[in-house]
Structure 1
Amino acid sequence: MLLSSKKHEASRNVSAVSRKLRSIASGVILATFAAGAFAQSYPDKLVRLVVPFPPGGPTDTAARIIAQKMTDGLKQQVIVENRPGASGTIGADVVAKSAPDGYTLMMLATPTLLFPHLSGRKSADVFKDFTPVGVAYELPLVMVVNPQKMPDVTGLQQYVAKAKSQPGVLNYTSAGNGSFGHLSTELLKNLGKFDVQHIPYKGSAPAIQDLLGGQVSMMFSDMIAALPHIKAGTLRPIAVGSASRVSFTPDVKTVAEQGFPGFDASSWGGLVVPAATPKDIVARLSKEMQAVLSDKEVQAKMLAAGTIASYQTPEQMSTRMRGDFDRWGKVIRDNGIKAD
């Protein structure tokens, strides 16, 4: 009797384990099916693209061009929502806390990527809280001088020679402490061993205005802010920061071509989603973005706005994020730079 009882109890235990395993398996199958069905039905409502900067800037301009065309591919409206503040970290915090369902995207730009190096403020972790969808655009930097203030400076080496002849006398401006133009100029100063004084402004517009007015003599500016004045002849371009020349100013040599081999300072932006967004949805968004950025009309619109359409895969974007974070972090530490 005892043996029979033990056999019966063992049989019941086996049955219980078997039922539990079947239940787990069913749950996994249902979850997989649900995720697949969700991905197949995506998107079935409006998609929000958060730009963590004010309207009218380079990130906002590029995002609006891309959103308009992605609306066609996704067959759902993609609206741009501006959430500016703290170098983009206010908007980043909002997106990081959003549902990871593919209906909230963000245009991550260089200032937000580098903000942790510049401030002790706690904010979303760009590496842990987001999944890259792909690089969207390049924003070339151009070094411009006021031709009235510097009539004899037509190239970078002439500027460097002039700066070295007057250590600490010349000045330059930027869109603010910790802005990409600021970082790029400080890197160039370190490499060229010359000294010019930084006068930061609150944004590109007022900085450009005082450069035009002659209060400052040089600026490493984003192309969107500088291009109208270059075309008007009121600012003179003497170098571009990217590794290769740009179509906006094809005759202007790169910094690397003018005695600083390997110099590469190009701001950029790319789409990200909250970290736990399903892989199928990330792949769909990335595919749509690639199609948008290969469209000739989109490319022309972005060029007219001073940005360059430039798709890179999620994996390439992830590598680029880490590389830029480390490289420019060193420049920030070496020069003791802090955000405003």
Structure 2
Amino acid sequence: MRRLLAAVLGAALLFGVAPAAIAFPDRPIRLIVPYGPGGITDITARIIAPALGDQLGQQVVVDNRPGGAAMLGFGMTARAPADGHTLVLATTALAANPVLFRDIPYDARRDFTPVSLVGLVPMVLVVPRNAPANSIAEFVALAKRRDGQMNYGSAGNGSGNHLTTEMFMHAAGIRATHVPYRGGGQVMTDLVAGRVEFVFAVLPTARPFILDGSLRALAVTGRTRSDAVPSVPTVAETVLPGFALYEWLGLLGPAGLPEPVLARLHQAAVAAVRDPAIAERLKGIGVEAQGSDPATLATHLDSELRRWDDLAKHVRFEVAQ
């Protein structure tokens, strides 16, 4: 037995395969969600985890690790052993946090191995039903007249609502006051009540309010209209030609994943995300399923890091820590 083991290990080293990669995966895989239960990142993780587990032949366990604007979960992933048994479902926050926080316990470029882009999530601009603006053009004109006097809500500093709004306002040449909340539920309640004047929300969160008439949808941020609210125009077809902005979800592991492990994870992720049944379920919650090679996610992450860094040169963010 010892001779056989030595032969196997010798062959693995001869062909450049790390021993840990030979039997990968040999135990359940932890999929870290850097947010609490119930949000779109958590729901997406719970949709893809069983399919990913089926592809890998091991259970994929969703592990919610909220805190620090997702930095707790990102940091845990960066410090995990690079054996493929710990992954994170990352979001736009991975790219945006460097412009929002001084002390970050990881480097977004160096400390992770991109596996696959999972999905893109368009946002929708919603206002109270009695708001004076009935279209995105009227909204922009109103915001310019009131120059900084309007307010908008978000789920917190560094949240998708916050970042999308700042990017839109920079592109449209308008200003408004940021009102951060601790989570997305209260901000939508206060928007319906008129205590804040607008929110860029993910479609799954906003759609029930749009359908029951509590909120008025003015525009979506995707390249095309959304099947979830087909009558709502895009920002690009109305006031800002070429504008497209998505929240994104990507699967990453710690830096230094062995190539055979990365290849196995990538193959499994693409098969899971592109499965027609999974893609349809993701579509139902407002996520446009992707499934990409690692290089595509790496390029996307680098582009996002540069985009938020550029925005920070023009927008005064509330820098914390």
TM-score normalised by structure 1 residue count: 0.86
CA distance in 2, matches of 1:30, 1:324: 37
Distance change (3 Å), C-alpha of 1:170 and 1:122: closer
Distance in 2 between residues matched to 1:50 and 1:184, nearest whole Å: 24
Of 193, 197, 201, the match for 1:221: 201
Flag as ranges the 4+ runs of structure 1 deviating above 6 A: none
* 2:78 is the counterpart of 1:96: yes
Q: Deviations over 1:109-140 (max 9, x none)?
A: 11122211111113111211111001001121
Q: 1:143 and 1:30, CA in 2 relative to 1: closer, same or farther beyond 3 A?
A: closer
Look up the match of 2:88. 106
Unaligned regions of 5+ residues in structure 1, if any? 1-26
> What count of residue pairs does the alignment treat as equivalent?
313
Give how far 1:37 is off.
6.0
**1:182 maps onto 2:194 in alignment:** no
Q: Is 247-256 or 45-54 further displaced after alignment?
A: 247-256
1:49 is paired with a residue whose SS is strand
Question: Letter of the aligned partner of 1:255 in structure 2?
Answer: V
Deviation at 1:271, TM superposition (A): 0.6
**Matching residue's letter, 2:262:** V
| 1:258 aligned partner | 238
**Which residue does the alignment assign to 1:86?**
68
Question: Retained in 2: the 8 A contact 1:183–1:331?
Answer: no
Q: Does 1:295 align with 2:258?
A: no
User: Bigger shift: 98-107 or 194-203?
Assistant: 194-203
1:253-332 to 2 correspondences below 5 Å: 253-332=233-312
What is the CA–CA distance in structure 1 between the aligned matches of 2:160 and 2:313, rounded to whole Å? 14
Q: Which one has the bigger helix percentage?
A: 1
1:5 alignment partner in structure 2: none
SS, match of residue 291 in structure 2: strand
CA-CA distance at 1:34 after TM superposition: 8.1
Task: Please report how far the alpha carbon of residue 45 of structure 1 lies from its aligned counterpart in structure 2 after TM superposition.
Answer: 1.2
- Note if 1:138 corresponds to 2:140: no
Residue in 2 that maps onto 1:63: 45
Q: CA deviation at 1:29?
A: 5.1
SS in structure 2 at match of 1:256 = coil
Indicate if the aligned counterparts of 2:115 and 2:293 stay in contact, CA closer than 8 A.
Answer: yes
**Over aligned residues, Cα RMSD in angstroms?**
2.1
Give yes or no for contact 2:77–2:87 (8 Å, CA) kept in 1.
Answer: yes
Once the two structures are aligned, what percentage of the paired residues are identical?
A: 35
C-alpha distance 332-204 of structure 1, shift in aligned 2 (>3 A)? farther
Give the letter aligned to residue 146 of structure 1: P
- Return the letter of the residue paired with 2:155: A
* Correspondent of 1:52 among 34, 56, 60: 34
Distance in 1 (alpha carbons) for counterparts of 2:248 and 2:14:
36
2-side partners of 1:32 and 1:269: how far apart?
A: 37
CA distance in 1, matches of 2:299, 2:50: 28
Structure whose CA Rg is larger? 1
AA of the residue aligned to 1:334: H
Is the 1:50–1:80 contact (alpha carbons within 8 Å) kept by the matching residues of 2?
yes
> CA separation in 1, counterparts of 2:197 and 2:23?
56
Superposed CA offset, 1:38-80 (max 9, x none):
4342212111111111111111111111101111111111100
**Pair 1:338-2:318 in alignment:** yes
Paired AA for residue 13 in structure 2 = A
The separation in 2 between residues aligned to 1:57 and 1:182, in whole angstroms, is 16
1:293-316 alpha-carbon deviations (Å, 9 max, x no partner): 121221222222232222121101
Pair 224,339 (structure 1): closer, same or farther in 2 beyond 3 Å:
farther
Contact 2:116–2:250 (Cα < 8 Å) also in 1: yes
Aligned equivalent of 2:143, options 160, 163, 169:
163
Structure 2 contact 21–83 (Cα < 8 Å) conserved: no
Q: Which residue of 1 aligns with 2:54?
A: 72
Which whole-Å CA distance do the structure 1 matches of 2:135 and 2:29 have between them?
46
Give CA-to-partner distance per residue, 1:203-246, whole Å, 9 cap, x none.
21111110011111211112222122122221111111122222
Distance 2:183 2:165 in 1: 16
8 Å CA contact 2:115, 2:266 repeated in 1: yes
Give the conservation status (yes or no) of the 8 Å contact 1:178–1:339. no
The TM-score with structure 2 as length reference comes to: 0.91
Distance 2:298 2:236 in 1: 25
The residue number in structure 1 matching 2:4 is none
Residue 69 of structure 2 aligns to a residue whose secondary structure is: helix
Partners of 1:65 and 1:157 lie apart in 2 by 37
2:5 corresponds to which residue?
none
